[in-house]
Structure 1
Amino acid sequence: MDHKTPVTTYVGLDISLAETHICVLDQDGTRLYQGAVPSDPDALADIVQRKAPNCERIGLETGATTPWLWRALRGRGLPVICIDARHASRALSMRKNKTDKNDAQGLAELMRIGWFKEANVRSPQTQYVRSLLTARYQLRMSRKDVLNQMRGVVKSFGLFAGSTATRRFPAMVQEIIQDNPQFGSLLAPLLAVHEALTRQIAVYEDELKNIAERDPDARRIMTVPGIGYLVALAFMTAVDDPARFSSSNKLGPYLGLAPRVRQSGETNWSAGIGHAPDKMMRSYLYQAATVVLTKTASWSALKAWGLRVYKRSGFKRAAVAVARKLAVIMHAIWINGTEFEYSQKGKAA
């Protein structure tokens, strides 16, 4: 009796909210199946098990529903891989026509040849904390927009309430309303929105503080100068698993804090820091570095090093360099289970 060797297959999933396009290729690149099913773990698992029973890799891109589907399919024992959408888009863009069907086939092809960059999928708890941080960050941005709107309104009438960066700005706007009651119907709703946003931001901050206080790793990371609970939690949720990085020095490029380099033949070009996949994290690290350079009173080797860079290359480069160093220090503390150490001369890195 002739027993055929099972065909090794590779699957690409192009996910949208309602449905997912699926493509199955064999090891030679021959298309065995193409179709679409609802974006539901049971439906996806069923079609893969029926159409690709000897599947070696299943590829899907990073996206809003990816963590949920990735965990669900992994839980069903399927070899699903989450790949970096930015990396995949460069490969998929080479196709003449961009359609969901073509993207699914392109992802299957990437799985077949092994040309992909695997992305980390956060654990449910990490995703929860990250969502809290993101929600707070978005509310802060909304509050900033409201403040700028109020400032623009009063300026257009020749009235000035000072800088929106000061905490007294809303009070100064209230004083303008008292002195100019005709502006009450214009400015009072904006003030009410500002107050509501401030209250809800405080709710998120209280929850995040409690999480940081209960987490021993976060408490150790917060011993680093300039690092508070927000930066510590943002860093931990950005990294998720510190063991993913074989060296702490890899954190700089990962967080978009390393200079861009182009080298080919006789050309060797470098410029400022590159694209930031996590803008919130890079912003927090830059702010923390600014605190180290300008507000930290105690002497530290970290601050002394940063000030030398400042004197040599200017504040912006120094702040980026210190931000990069902070990421390295936090990762090392997290991995080693230690705390920031202080020298005899003061608090030092």
Structure 2
Amino acid sequence: MFIGIDVHKRYSQIAVLDQNGEIVEEVRVENANLDDFAQQYAGSKAALEATSNYYHIHDTLSEYLDVTVANPGKLKLISDSDKKTDRVDAKQFARMVRLGSIPESYVPTDEVRQARALVRGRQKLVENRTEYANKIHSLLSDHGITQEMKPLSVKEREFLQELSLPAPWDALLESYLEFIQTLTEQIESLEAEIEERAGSLKETQLLMTIPGVSYFMALTIYAELGEINRFDRAKEVVSYVGLNPIIRESGDSRFEGSISKRGSGRVRWLLVQASYSAVHTCEDEYLSRFYNRLARKKNSKTAIVATVHTCEDEYLSRFYNRLARKKNSKTAIVATARKLLVSMYHMLDREEVYGPPGVSA
């Protein structure tokens, strides 16, 4: 049998097809009872979408069924349908299973799931704390207090606690400060667990041999990439993270645009930060040489470049060089992040510490 499962928070809509593509059964099942349904069709092939709560359902069904998790970003056939209901989606899943055309999504191991829960949980707490810090800035601004404050600083929180504001804003300020204090304690507790987890995994231990890569950064990259052996080559990892350039070809023309930005924005941001650290703080010779070569590169094809370099107009030259450095540095740091990611892939694939030419790990 071929089974399509449209998962919701408390229930799943299910369609079952036979080998001829005929509908055998359409049923709505409570998620708590999915194991009973799976036993009924043990050995069959099934597919469900990678929704927020699919881990538990996947694990439950996998005891009896051959389960494929579908990549939601590639399910255009379903998302573009004019008629979209639970029953339609479930039947479409079942048909795709029968045809072998499910765009498969990676299902992380328990170890990777635990790492993801830790780093994503910390990130959420940090975002919540920043939200309350912004509320404090807004509250102070409403009362004409323009002095720059940093509510995340212990010293400045103590100052804010002594600040006299009229009711009810004094109570609001006190409440916001308490939230920030509580969130800070929770973040510190999670960071201790993240540090311990990063120190216990061989993958993160390898990543932390890169200058400037912290335990949090290492565990985040490990958590978001998952098992490295699921990638056949470095280009696949680069594309997965979204650091690959978008390429357009038509006839004899070829154009490379900005990066695709698919995948985890969190990982891209961390890789850029790690690259800044490697180039400007740790002075990683390997990455610094690469970055500086790109950052110095000038685009001499435009007329303005010819004007600047030929006429030697001091005003235009200063303006051009400032823009060129700014644009080239942004492009260069993204390219450096991509190069760093490729190094990480080879380190994890070969189980080697960081050791490119000219660098002491």
The alignment status of 1:133 with 2:147, answered yes or no, reads no
Cα distance in 1 for partners of 2:253, 2:356 equals: 43
Contact 1:87–1:117 under 8 Å retained in 2: yes
Seen in structure 2, the aligned counterparts of structure 1 residues 318 and 22 have a Cα distance that, compared at 3 Å, is: same
Q: In the alignment, which residue of structure 1 is the partner of 2:159?
A: 175
Q: In the alignment, which residue of structure 2 is the partner of 1:247?
A: 233
In the alignment, which of 125, 128, 136 is matched to residue 142 of structure 1? 128
Cα distance in 2 for partners of 1:293, 1:223 equals: 16
Q: Which blocks of at least 5 consecutive residues in structure 1 are unaligned?
A: 1-8
Contact 2:239–2:262 under 8 Å retained in 1: no
1:13-63 deviations in Å (ceiling 9; x for gaps): 1111222111122344322222222213413313434xxx6x3x3111101
Cα distance in 2 for partners of 1:185, 1:94 equals: 50
In the alignment, which of 350, 355, 358 is matched to residue 336 of structure 1? 350
The alignment status of 1:308 with 2:322, answered yes or no, reads no
In the alignment, which of 21, 26, 38 is matched to residue 29 of structure 1? 21
The alignment status of 1:187 with 2:173, answered yes or no, reads yes
1:54-95 deviations in Å (ceiling 9; x for gaps): x3x31111012212222222223x21111101112x110233
Q: In the alignment, which residue of structure 1 is the partner of 2:102?
A: 116
Q: CA deviation at 1:163?
A: 6.2
Q: In the alignment, which residue of structure 1 is the partner of 2:4?
A: 12
Q: In the alignment, which residue of structure 1 is the partner of 2:307?
A: none
The alignment status of 1:72 with 2:60, answered yes or no, reads yes
Q: CA deviation at 1:220?
A: 1.3
Q: CA deviation at 1:282?
A: 2.0
1:224-255 deviations in Å (ceiling 9; x for gaps): 12311112111111222111111123211101
Q: Which blocks of at least 5 consecutive residues in structure 2 are unaligned?
A: 298-326
In the alignment, which of 339, 344, 351 is matched to residue 325 of structure 1? 339
Seen in structure 2, the aligned counterparts of structure 1 residues 144 and 100 have a Cα distance that, compared at 3 Å, is: same
Structure 1 letter corresponding to 2:244: A
Seen in structure 2, the aligned counterparts of structure 1 residues 179 and 120 have a Cα distance that, compared at 3 Å, is: closer
Contact 2:19–2:98 under 8 Å retained in 1: yes
* Alignment TM-score, normalising by the size of structure 1: 0.86
Cα distance in 2 for partners of 1:102, 1:281 equals: 35
Q: Which runs of 4+ in 1 moved over 4 A?
A: 264-269
Contact 1:161–1:173 under 8 Å retained in 2: no
Note the aligned Cα RMSD (angstroms): 2.3
Cα distance in 2 for partners of 1:179, 1:59 equals: 58
Identity over aligned pairs, percent: 24
Q: In the alignment, which residue of structure 1 is the partner of 2:37?
A: 44
Cα distance in 2 for partners of 1:105, 1:264 equals: 38
The alignment status of 1:102 with 2:102, answered yes or no, reads no
Q: In the alignment, which residue of structure 2 is the partner of 1:4?
A: none
Cα distance in 2 for partners of 1:199, 1:94 equals: 45
Question: Secondary structure of 1:236's match?
Answer: helix
In the alignment, which of 33, 44, 62 is matched to residue 50 of structure 2? 62
Q: CA deviation at 1:134?
A: 0.7
Q: CA deviation at 1:139?
A: 0.6
Contact 2:133–2:152 under 8 Å retained in 1: no
